[in-house]
């Protein structure tokens, strides 16, 4: 009887160790080499070259990992969007400057025309 209890205790201890190792591997506490990346339900398709449109952003999907999205994909996309917004802001500022210049020229021409009509 004492022999049986010892064997049962040993088997339970072994079971606890095996379950603990399995959980540690599953949550990534123990690195396992040769493990493939987790499959994704929708493969990552980066933003197309050229200007980004609303539809491009609507279709954008990142691969999911155990703790969220792949940081490298998100970081690269945010960098690209930041650059696009910076370029658009510069273009808007340039165009506003040009519009102001053209508006000033237009007002000057109108003033000159009005002055010449008065004389």
Asked if the structure places residue 38 within a domain, the reply is no
11 and 56 co-located in one domain? no
**What digits encode the pLDDT tens for the residues 31-44?**
766 655 655 566 77
Same domain, 85 and 58: yes
110 pLDDT more than 90: no
Give the pLDDT mean for 5-21.
91
pTM score, two decimals? 0.41
Q: What is the 3-state secondary structure (H, E, C) of 31-98?
A: CCCCCCCCCCCCCCCCCCCCCCCHHHHHHCCCCEECCEECHHHHHHHHHHHHHHHHHHHHHHHHHHHH
Do 53 and 85 have their domain in common?
Answer: yes
Shared-domain flag, residues 53 and 79? yes
Range of the domain at 25: 1-33
15 in any annotated domain: yes
Do 60 and 6 reside in the same domain of the chain? no
Q: Are residues 48 and 18 in the same domain?
A: no
Count of domains in the chain?
2
Does 53 lie in the same domain as 3?
no
Residues 18 and 54 in one domain: no
Tens digit of pLDDT for each residue in 36-88?
Answer: 565 556 677 788 888 877 788 777 777 777 777 888 888 888 888 888 888 88
């Amino acid at each position: 009887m004492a022999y049986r209890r010892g064997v049962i205790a040993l088997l339970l201890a072994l079971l606890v160790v095996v379950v603990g190792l399995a959980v540690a591997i599953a949550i990534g506490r123990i690195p396992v080499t040769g493990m493939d990346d987790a499959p994704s339900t929708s493969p990552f398709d980066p933003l197309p070259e050229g200007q980004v449109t609303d539809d491009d952003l609507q279709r954008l999907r990142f691969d999911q990992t155990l703790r969220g999205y792949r940081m490298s994909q998100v970081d690269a996309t945010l960098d690209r969007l930041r650059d696009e917004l910076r370029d658009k802001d510069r273009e808007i500022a340039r165009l506003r400057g040009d519009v102001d210049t053209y508006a000033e020229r237009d007002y000057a021409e109108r003033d000159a025309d009005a002055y010449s009509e008065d004389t």
